[in-house]
């Protein structure tokens, strides 16, 4: 595996051609793992893109990776689990909103309401201060606190605090508008 370690070092140094070679070599493996869990080609392709985006954003850590194939499997699996968790939270939120709203007359009304809720969430996020907004969006996209910290060059404590404040602001914004 000396060749693999050399590629990891090159990626850590920001070598895009090494990154492209690694992407071409391992993207099918990530896709296959995603398909094993997700069973949807489009979503599996999105997962490949998101996983390799994380690899690139965390490229400085690549030189310390002993087995890149195992690292990718764990990264992919964690990304899939995180997306399952987000889907569960989203589902609970929709269930809550559905139970606390008047019964939809038909599917069109339901879709209109869903669109309105999404717009309300977008407005809530748009109202956040720039740094807090960046943290919130990165977290929503599945990045860990450490990844956000590295990417935005802020401490993990700051990431946690900004996320906490962002969630409070979003909740207050939505609660105020739905009351």
pLDDT at residue 52 in the model: 92
Phi, psi of 153 (to 5 degrees): 55, 50
User: Which whole number is the average pLDDT over 63-74?
Assistant: 85
User: Which whole number is the average pLDDT over 76-85?
Assistant: 85
pLDDT at residue 102 in the model: 57
**Does residue 177 carry a pLDDT above 60?**
yes
**Does residue 107 carry a pLDDT above 80?**
no
pLDDT at residue 106 in the model: 58
Q: How far apart are CA 48 and CA 45, in angstroms?
A: 5
pLDDT band at 104 (very low <50, low <70, confident <90, very high): very low
pLDDT at residue 83 in the model: 79
pLDDT at residue 116 in the model: 84
Stretch among 1-5, 100-104, 110-114 having the lowest mean pLDDT: 100-104
- The closest of 23, 92, 144 to 152, measured between CA atoms, is 144
The alpha-helical segments, DSSP class H, found in the chain are 2-12, 16-38, 41-57, 68-99, 107-126, 130-140, 145-152, 156-178
- The closest of 55, 64, 46, 63 to 22, measured between CA atoms, is 55
Exposure letters 66-89 (e unless 16+ CB within 10 A, then b): eebeebbbebbeebbeebeeeeee
pLDDT at residue 143 in the model: 87
Q: How far is CA 8 from CA 12, 31, 173, 177, in A?
A: 6, 20, 44, 49
**Does residue 2 carry a pLDDT above 70?**
no
Average per-residue pLDDT in the chain? 84
Q: How far apart are CA 157 and CA 155, in angstroms?
A: 5
The tens digit of pLDDT for each residue in 115-161 reads: 888 888 888 889 999 999 999 888 888 889 899 999 899 999 999 99
């Amino acid at each position: 595996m000396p060749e693999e370690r050399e590629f990891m070092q090159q990626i850590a140094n920001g070598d895009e051609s090494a990154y492209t070679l690694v992407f071409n070599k391992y993207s099918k493996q990530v896709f296959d793992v995603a398909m094993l869990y997700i069973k949807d080609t489009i979503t599996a392709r999105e997962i490949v893109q998101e996983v390799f985006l994380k690899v690139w954003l965390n490229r400085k850590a690549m030189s310390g990776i002993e087995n890149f194939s195992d690292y990718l499997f764990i990264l992919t699996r964690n990304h899939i689990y995180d997306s399952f968790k987000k889907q569960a939270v989203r589902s609970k939120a929709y269930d809550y909103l559905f139970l606390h709203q008047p019964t939809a007359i038909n599917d069109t009304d339901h879709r209109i309401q869903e669109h309105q809720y999404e717009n309300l969430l977008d407005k809530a996020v748009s109202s956040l201060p720039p740094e807090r907004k960046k943290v919130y969006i990165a977290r929503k996209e599945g990045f860990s606190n450490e990844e956000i910290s590295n990417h935005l060059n802020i401490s993990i404590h700051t990431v946690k605090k900004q996320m906490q404040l962002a969630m409070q602001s979003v909740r207050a914004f939505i609660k105020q508008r739905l009351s």
